[in-house]
Amino acid sequence: MNTPEKILIIRTDRIGDVTLTLPMAHAIKKFYPGAQVAFLVREYTRPLAENNKYIDETLVLKEKNGKILYGENIELLKKFDACFLVHPTFELALLVYLSGIKIRAGTGYRWYSFLFNRKIYEHRKYAEKHELEFNLSMLNAIGINYETIADNIDFGLRPDAETSEEVKTFLKNNDVDTESKLIIIHPGSGGSSVDLPFDNMKRLVTKLSQIDGAEILITGSKSETELCARLIVSEKTKNLAGVFNLKELIALISLSDILIANSTGPIHIAAALNKFVVGFYPKVVSCSAERWGPYTDNKAVFKPETECNNCTIKKCMITNCMSAIDIDKVVDTIANQLSVSND
């Protein structure tokens, strides 16, 4: 098989999904150092691929009113000789086919899979592997065995230096002691999973605010401003919801010591930056920690301390399973981590 020279990775869904796809670029560069690697993303996730040491070019999907502009995108993509459609849709599969890309790798389980000529037969919904590992295993289509790099995962994610200085200045101007331990709490998840109940999250914030030498920063989207405001329990907690764009959020996380979140994009950004992460996950297979947990050893993942089988999101929400997570254990874990990092 001829080594492809220009390789495109397409991932046009959410922040966490794109973050967990980034290690594909590192794997390609390790096996084929001379290859050019590009990422096709949507505009709002562009900062994840930009300034990445393994990605040579970041492309943004051209759309109008939510519809793909085929002519303009084909002009962008026709130069590639291999592509990986990590999050498949018919529209994107048709796009890569019409672009004339020689090697088109994608799932073999969709009705439109005939548009791919390197088919991947893995059902992700059973969570037999982590999402990141599913992504890497697609590279078998061009002769890369991901298992040989499983212990050497590199996201290549780097905060922008100028943006980091701007964020640091913002924190100082808003009475955040940047010399303290910075704990980020990101309470929302955009509905992609089952969250820690709000009262439990507030109890966690209250207990953490009593730790000496720590500042707590509550982050979220603009639409989560009110949710985050309800977690302000003392002067040591600051509501930063809606303040930062993604590029700035990456910089903020790079300045922090610990990030605490439900199953959501920022937890994967923090893991990619090798920050200590605390995550809350249900036992539902489709959104379990086994598939969607932070891909790092520098973590603590908490699940409901309940016995359940074949759990569904609806069942989990009705029975309020996530309230079974022991907040005191969570606090002790964080306090111990802060103690270790102070040594």
Choose the weakest-confidence range: 122-126, 264-268, 274-278. Answer: 122-126
Residue range 188-195: average pLDDT?
80
The span from the CA of 154 to the CA of 115, in Å, is 31
Q: Are 304 and 275 in contact (CB under 8 A)?
A: no
168 and 267 co-located in one domain: yes
* pLDDT, tens digit, 9 for 90 and up, residues 224-244: 999 999 999 999 899 999 999
Structural domain ending residue among the three candidates 125, 149, 173 = 149
Q: 118: domain CATH number? A: 3.40.50.2000
- What is the total count of domains within the chain? 2
Is 80 exceeded by the pLDDT of residue 188?
Answer: yes
Task: Name every residue whose Cβ is closer than 8 Å to that of residue 46 and which is 6 or more positions away in sequence.
Answer: 58, 60, 246
- pLDDT-derived band at 206, boundaries 50, 70, 90: very high
62 and 200 co-located in one domain: no
Question: Residue 166's domain spans which residues?
Answer: 161-342
Domain annotation covers residue 325: yes
121 and 171 co-located in one domain: no
* pLDDT, tens digit, 9 for 90 and up, residues 116-160: 999 999 988 878 899 999 999 999 999 998 775 656 899 999 999
The span from the CA of 338 to the CA of 343, in Å, is 9
248 and 137 co-located in one domain: no
Q: Are 186 and 264 in contact (CB under 8 A)?
A: yes
The span from the CA of 265 to the CA of 14, in Å, is 7
Domain annotation covers residue 1: no
The span from the CA of 30 to the CA of 233, in Å, is 47
Domain annotation covers residue 155: no
66 and 177 co-located in one domain: no
49 and 91 co-located in one domain: yes
Is 70 exceeded by the pLDDT of residue 309?
Answer: no
Is 80 exceeded by the pLDDT of residue 103?
Answer: yes
Phi, psi values for residue 271, rounded to 5°? -65, -40
138 and 38 co-located in one domain: yes
pTM: 0.95
61 and 178 co-located in one domain: no
Is 80 exceeded by the pLDDT of residue 316?
Answer: no
Q: Which of 289, 290, 252 minimizes the C-alpha distance to 269? A: 252
Q: Which of 254, 216, 199 minimizes the C-alpha distance to 51? A: 254
Structural domain ending residue among the three candidates 127, 149, 171 = 149
Choose the weakest-confidence range: 93-97, 127-131, 277-281. Answer: 127-131
Is 90 exceeded by the pLDDT of residue 283?
Answer: no
* pLDDT, tens digit, 9 for 90 and up, residues 77-94: 999 999 999 999 999 999
129 and 174 co-located in one domain: no
Domain annotation covers residue 116: yes
Task: Write out the H or E segment, with its range, that includes residue 31.
Answer: helix 23-31
225 and 169 co-located in one domain: yes
Averaged pLDDT of the chain:
92
Domain annotation covers residue 184: yes
What proportion of the chain, given as a percentage, has pLDDT over 90? 80
